[in-house]
Amino acid sequence: MSSEKVTNQAEEPEETSVENNEETEANSEVETPEVEEEKKEPTAEEKYQDLNDRYLRLYSEFENFRRRTAKEKLELISNASGQVLGDFLPIIDDFERAIKNNAEVNEASTIKEGIQLIYSKLDNILKIKGIKEIDAQNQPFDLDLHEAVTKIPAPSKDLRGKVVDVVEKGYMLNEKVLRYAKVVVGE
């Protein structure tokens, strides 16, 4: 009998464990579809939070982009002017040498020649940078290029409405007026 009892007792726990396994499987089958349904359909609050997070990230990315491009633009402008000013430094050096040498030179022709060389160097740098002089003398008056200082009677009929004299030269940078030419117009 004792062997039968041991066998019966051994069988009973097996039956219990089988029943427990079936209940667990049934419960897991019921819970699994609910979990999947929750994952498939987020609530309105979750959708709102997700969209709000996306909006905030996009907004912050745009603000960072805007700040970065503004900073780059300022750096570009300051560096561009620095480069142009750096090109003028040799001319300043030439002027300083000319002033120092002019104190010792008695001949006017050498002083004139030195000034002419410095002017040529400056003019070449300006041309390289895209600056050119506005040709105004004897040209028809143009409001887009010229600023009339005064009007005088034209010395001849063919100079009526044209520039008779240039008081101050005008300059353009890449087809944009930097300074209007101040002119006298014939009537």
**Domain extents for the chain?**
56-129, 132-187
Q: pLDDT tens-digit profile of 13-28? A: 544 544 555 555 545 5
Tell which residue, 140, 143, 141, 151, has the closest CA to residue 177: 143
- Beta pairing class for 176-179 and 163-168: unpaired
pTM beyond 0.85: the answer is no
Distance between CA 122 and CA 116 in Å, rounded?
A: 10
pLDDT of res. 73: 92
pLDDT of res. 35: 52
State the DSSP string of 92-158: HHHHHHHHHHHTT---HHHHHHHHHHHHHHHHHHHHHTTEEE---TTSBP-TTTEEEEEEE--SSGG
pLDDT of res. 10: 47
Could you tell me the end-to-end alpha-carbon distance of the chain, in angstroms, rounded to an integer? 143
pLDDT of res. 90: 87
Length of the chain: 187
Q: Are 8 and 15 in contact (CB under 8 A)?
A: no
pLDDT of res. 36: 53
CATH homologous superfamily for the domain 132-187: Head domain of nucleotide exchange factor GrpE (2.30.22.10)
Give me the tens of pLDDT residue by residue for the chain, a chain 187 residues long.
444 444 445 444 544 544 555 555 545 555 555 555 546 788 999 999 999 999 999 999 999 999 999 999 988 887 877 777 888 888 889 888 888 888 888 888 888 888 899 999 999 988 888 899 999 898 999 889 999 999 998 888 888 888 999 999 999 988 899 999 999 998 8
Q: Assign 8 to helix, strand or coil.
A: helix
Backbone phi and psi for residue 128, each to the nearest 5 degrees, phi listed first: -60, -35
